[in-house]
C-alpha cells in the first residue's frame, strides 16, 4: 500500500513539474523592435523588406520576439520600455523628442543595432550632420565622406576575435555585396570604440565605378564596431544590389544570403539581447 502511495505522489509531482519546465524553455528571451522608413532608395527598401522576412525566422529559432514599426513617433520612453533591443534598419529619427528618447534609452542600459544607412550623415542633404551625440559620441564615426560603387562583395577581416559576436567567424570571409562607407573620424583613435571587422586589403580594388573615387585601392575601412560605453553594434551592411541599368527595381543581391555574415548578425543580436544591465 505504501509503495502504491509513493508512486501516485511521484506521478502527481511529475504532472506539475514537467509542464512548468516546458513553459520555461519556450519563454521569450528578449524583445526586439525594428524601426524603418523604407522610402526613396530602392536598395534600402529591398534590404528592409528582406530584413523583415529574415528576422522573424531567426526570432522563432532563438526564442526572442521581433516587432517592427515605421512610425518614428513610437521612439518614446513609454514604448521603448517594452523592448530590450532597438534596431534601426535604415535612417534615424529627426524629431528632438525622438532623439532624446533614444539617448535616454541607451544611457539607461538599452541595446541597439544599426545597419548601413542608419549611420549616414551629410550636410547639406536630407540627413544632415545635426545630431552630435549620435554621430560623434554614440557611433563615433562622424559624417559620411564617400562610398564604393557599385555594390560589391568584400573580404572582411575580424579585428576582435574575442568578442561574442565574432567568436564563430573565421579570420576572414567574403561578405554579401554592399555599398561600403568611408567616415570622417578615424575610429582607431577613439578608445571607446571596439572595431570588430574591417575591409581586408585583399579586397582592393573594391568597387567598379564608373567614377574613379568610387573604387578604393588602399586604406583602412572599419565596417562593424561597438562602443564600449553603450550596448550597441553598428554594421555597415544593408545595401542590396539593384538592377539600376534596366530601371526594373529588381534585387540582384541579398544581404542575408550569406551564412557566415548571418552568424555575425545573430551572435551580435544574442549578445545584445542577453547582456545584463
**pLDDT per residue as tens digits for the range 230-239:** 999 999 999 9
Query: Going by C-beta distance under 8 Å and a sequence separation of 6 or more, which residues neighbour residue 184?
Result: 141, 142, 143, 144, 145
CA angle, 191 then 103 then 28, to 5°: 100
Alpha helices in the chain (DSSP H): 2-25, 42-62, 77-80, 96-107, 132, 259-274
Tell me: pLDDT of 269 over 70: yes
Average pLDDT, the chain: 91
pLDDT reported for residue 276: 59
Tell me: pLDDT of 67 over 50: yes
pLDDT reported for residue 234: 99
277 versus 250: the higher-pLDDT residue is 250
**pLDDT per residue as tens digits for the range 159-218:** 999 999 999 999 999 999 999 999 999 999 999 999 999 999 999 999 999 999 999 999
Strand pairing category for 111-115 and 231-235: parallel
SS3 247: coil
Asked if 120 and 104 touch (Cβ cutoff 8 Å), the reply is no
Residue 151, CB-side half-sphere exposure with 13 Å CA sphere: 23
Q: Among 5-9, 58-62, 129-133, 263-267, which is the least confidently predicted range?
A: 5-9
Domain ranges for the chain: 29-145+186-197+220-274
Q: Among candidates 198, 172, 91, which has minimal Cα distance to 99?
A: 91
Report d(CA 187, CA 222) in Å as an integer: 8
Check if CATH label 3.40.50.880 holds for domain 29-145+186-197+220-274: yes
* % of the chain residues with pLDDT over 90: 86
**pLDDT per residue as tens digits for the range 123-166:** 999 999 999 999 999 999 999 999 999 999 999 999 999 999 99
Tell me: pLDDT of 26 over 80: no
pLDDT reported for residue 7: 45
Tell me: pLDDT of 8 over 50: no
pLDDT reported for residue 27: 79
pLDDT reported for residue 22: 34
**pLDDT per residue as tens digits for the range 75-104:** 999 999 999 999 999 999 999 999 999 999
Report d(CA 151, CA 65) in Å as an integer: 31
Asked if 84 and 110 touch (Cβ cutoff 8 Å), the reply is yes
Q: Among candidates 273, 260, 259, which has minimal Cα distance to 59?
A: 273
pLDDT band at 25 (very low <50, low <70, confident <90, very high): very low
Amino acid at each position: 500500500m505504501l509503495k502504491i502511495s509513493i508512486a501516485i505522489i511521484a506521478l502527481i509531482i511529475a504532472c506539475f513539474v514537467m509542464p512548468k519546465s516546458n513553459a520555461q524553455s519556450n519563454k521569450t528571451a528578449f524583445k526586439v523592435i525594428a524601426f524603418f522608413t523604407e522610402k526613396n532608395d530602392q536598395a534600402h527598401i529591398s534590404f528592409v523588406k528582406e530584413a523583415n522576412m529574415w528576422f522573424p525566422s531567426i526570432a522563432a529559432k532563438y526564442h526572442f520576439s521581433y516587432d517592427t514599426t515605421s512610425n518614428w513617433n513610437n521612439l518614446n520612453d513609454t514604448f521603448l520600455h517594452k523592448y530590450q533591443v532597438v534596431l534601426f534598419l535604415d535612417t534615424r529619427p529627426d524629431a528632438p523628442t525622438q532623439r532624446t528618447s533614444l539617448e535616454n534609452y541607451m544611457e539607461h542600459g538599452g541595446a541597439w543595432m544599426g545597419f548601413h544607412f542608419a549611420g549616414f550623415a551629410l550636410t547639406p542633404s536630407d540627413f544632415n550632420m545635426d545630431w552630435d551625440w549620435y554621430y560623434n559620441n554614440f557611433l563615433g564615426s562622424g559624417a559620411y565622406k564617400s562610398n564604393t560603387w557599385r555594390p560589391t562583395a568584400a573580404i572582411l577581416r575580424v579585428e576582435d576575435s574575442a568578442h561574442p559576436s565574432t567568436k564563430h567567424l573565421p579570420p576572414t570571409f567574403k561578405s554579401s555585396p554592399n555599398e561600403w562607407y568611408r567616415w570622417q573620424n578615424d575610429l582607431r583613435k577613439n578608445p571607446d570604440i571596439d572595431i570588430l571587422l574591417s575591409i581586408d586589403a585583399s579586397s582592393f580594388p573594391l568597387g567598379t565605378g564608373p567614377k574613379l573615387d568610387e573604387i578604393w585601392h588602399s586604406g583602412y575601412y572599419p565596417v562593424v564596431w561597438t562602443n564600449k560605453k553603450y550596448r550597441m553594434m553598428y554594421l555597415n551592411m544593408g545595401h542590396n544590389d539593384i538592377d539600376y541599368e534596366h530601371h526594373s527595381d529588381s534585387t540582384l543581391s541579398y544581404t542575408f544570403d550569406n551564412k557566415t555574415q548571418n552568424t555575425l548578425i545573430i551572435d551580435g543580436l544574442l549578445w545584445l539581447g542577453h547582456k545584463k544591465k
